Structures are given as C-alpha cells and as structure tokens.
Amino acid sequence: MHAIATRSLTKHFRSTWRRRVVGLDHLNFAVRENEVYGLLGPNGSGKSTTLKLILGLYQPSEGEADIFGMSVERTVSRTSVGYLPENPYFYRYLTGAETVRFFGRLCGMRGRRLEEKVSELLALVGLEAHRDRRLAGYSKGMLQRIGLAQALVHEPRLLLLDEPTAGVDPIGSIEIRDLILKLRGMGKTILLCSHLLDQVQDVCDRIGILHYGKMILEGDVKGLLARKDQFQFTCEGLDDPARARVREAIRAAGGRLISEGNPATTLEHLFLQSVRSADRGKAAPSGATRPVDLPTAERP
C-alpha cells in the first residue's frame, strides 16, 4: 500500500474576471511507505496546492487522493498525517510546551501520555531548554522545529513538510535536515516540498518535479543524477609526475580526460566550518576542504 497515491488529481482556481487558472493538472504520483519523497518545482508550480489537496484543505476539481488507502476527503485520514506548513505561525502567546500540548489535545491525547509526549518531542527537536518560552520570542529555525514537534505529536506515519527550511539560516537549515534524516531512520514516510535542491538531494530517495501543475520528471535521486557514461576518481598524495602517468594511462586505455583539478567544497560546508571554528575560539580555516564529519553531496 502506498503512503500517498493521487489519481488524475486536478485543481482549478478562479482568478479575476472568472478566468480559470490550472493549479494542478491531472497529477498521478505515489509515495511509497518509509521513503523520503521530494516534490520540487518553481514557485507557483503546484507543490503547496498538492499538499493542501492531500490534507483536504482544498477540494479537488477532478481526481482523487488517498493516504494509506483512505480517501483524503475523510477527516479520519489525517490521523496518519503530520503537517508542517511553509513559514508556520503558531499562536504566539503560547509557549513551546503549550503549543505541542494544544495539538496533542486536538488529536485526543490527554494526561500523562500527553505530557510524556510533549517532553519527548521537545527533546527530539532540541527545544527542551525553551519549552516555557513564548513562541513570540522564537527564531524562525526554532519555529520550524516546534512545527515539526506538533506535526509528530500524534505519532503519524506520514509527514508532509512544506519548505521546512524557508527563511532559516544555514545552521538551522542543517539542523532541520538532520532531523529529517533522523525521522527517516525512525521509519517515517516523508513528503518534502522544497526548492532548495541541495537539501533535497541530501535527504530524498525519490523526487518529482512539478511545472505548471504537471509532473515533468520523476524518479530515484541517485538514478536521475548519475552520469553513467562518466567516472570520477578523487585521490590524494599524487605529485606532478604521478598525475602525468595517470593522464597517460587514461589515454592508453582509450578514455578521454574531461576535467581535473582541486575539488571544491560547498559554500554551506565552508560556512559551517567557519562558524564552528569561531565557536571553538579558533581561527577560521583558510583551506577549502570538506569536513569529514559532514554528509557529502558529491557532484558529477
């Protein structure tokens, strides 16, 4: 059974002068259980519309969608879903713990079970120290993390994350990405909408690209990105004569050397390394090398 399945899911909107605008055009896609699926696309491509249709916040103009085999038109289907909206704004007058408690109560949780869940989730998202602080004083990264906590409160099997790192600084963004990886490790199915392609590449098993409400590309991330006609070595400890011998060996074997040089790190890794070094009271590194403790995002 699929976690999400849509069949010809279509949404029309009415604009000024009653002109019909297609928000989503006969979308057919499925998210398998225990996978992280990245829904990509430029602004206005239909990502958020898809999520709202799956959550029953919009009525489809045509087609249908299921969550674990239940029609999304039934409110009960949402017992299996946790949702983190784009730029989530929760009640600013509630504290972190009160927010998670409020959503837990909405899901029918009460008493000690709820209190234990609140503490467990605040620890999971790293907000235990801020549990009694009002959300009005939370940063964007903290709001995203409390958003994740409320999305998880009723132990859903499926998580819908709409731009979970929108407006968050690089460190907060990395923390949220690590959290998503942790949730995948816990067996959750995740549908992630984002236009931050590096992030999607790091965490997703499969992706689909939406454009003007249509799915224009879908598949396994590694499969889609791999250049099967090329091969890349990254090595160290070679001096100039040794490099010349490698070039010669490639030519002798009938290959063609396409590029060579020092591999570049990503700006994200350089930023993180600099900030962490400064935090430790050390000078920022001058060399552009990728830290070994961070997940790599190799490029072809």
Partner 1 sequence: MKTSTPRLGFSFGRLWTIGRNTMTEVIRQKFFYILLVFGLVVIASSRFFAQFSSVEQIKFIKDFSLAAMTVFGALIAMVGTAELLPLELENRTIYPILAKPVHRTEFLLGKFAGMAMLLLLTILLMSLIFEGLLLSTEHQLLASAAASASAPGAEVSAQEIADQILHQTRDPALLKAIFLIGIKALIVCAISLLISTFATSVIFNVISSVIIYICGHLEAGARQASLGDQSPIVRGLMLVVAFFVPDLSAFNLADAVVLGQHIPLRLVANTAAYGIFYAAIALALAILIFQEKEI
Interface residues with partner 1 (CB under 8 A)?
1, 55-59, 66, 68-71, 74-79, 81-85, 87-91, 93-94, 102-103, 105-108, 110, 147, 150-151, 154, 160
Cβ neighbors of 65 (< 8 A, separation 6 or more) are 4, 5, 6, 7, 9, 53, 54, 71, 72
What burial class does residue 142 get, using C-beta atoms within 10 Å of its C-beta: 0-12 exposed, 13-18 middle, 19+ buried?
buried
Q: How far is the CB of 232 from partner 1 (least distance, A)?
A: 43
For tokens 């050390």, what's the residue?
282
- To partner 1, the closest distance from the beta carbon of 243 in angstroms equals 56
Least Å distance between CB 15 and partner 1? 14
Least Å distance, CB 144 to partner 1, is 12
CA distances 256 to 122, 132, 230, 250, 259, Å, are: 54, 62, 10, 7, 9
Question: Please, which residue, 160 or 203, has the CB nearer to partner 1?
Answer: 160
What SS3 class is residue 29? strand
CB of 220 to partner 1, least distance (A): 24
Hey, how many other C-beta atoms are within 10 angstroms of the C-beta on 50? 30
Encoded tokens for 267? 């700006």
Closer by beta carbon to partner 1, 57 or else 224 = 57
SS3 211: strand
User: Considering beta carbons, is residue 77 or 199 the nearer one to partner 1?
Assistant: 77
Q: Please report the sign of the dihedral spanned by the C-alpha atoms of residue 59, residue 63, residue 66, residue 70.
A: positive
Pick the closer one to partner 1 by CB: 49 or 265.
Answer: 49
Query: Position 102: which residue type?
Result: F
Q: What is the 8-class DSSP label of residue 138? A: -
Residue 194 or 265: the one with the smaller Cβ distance to partner 1 is: 194
- Comparison of 46 and 88: residue with beta carbon closer to partner 1: 88
Closer Cβ to partner 1, 153 or 270, answer by number:
153
Please report how close the Cβ of residue 114 comes to partner 1 at its closest, in angstroms: 11
CB of residue 278 vs partner 1: minimum separation in angstroms?
A: 35
Distances (CA, A) of 209 to 27, 40, 77, 236: 11, 5, 26, 37
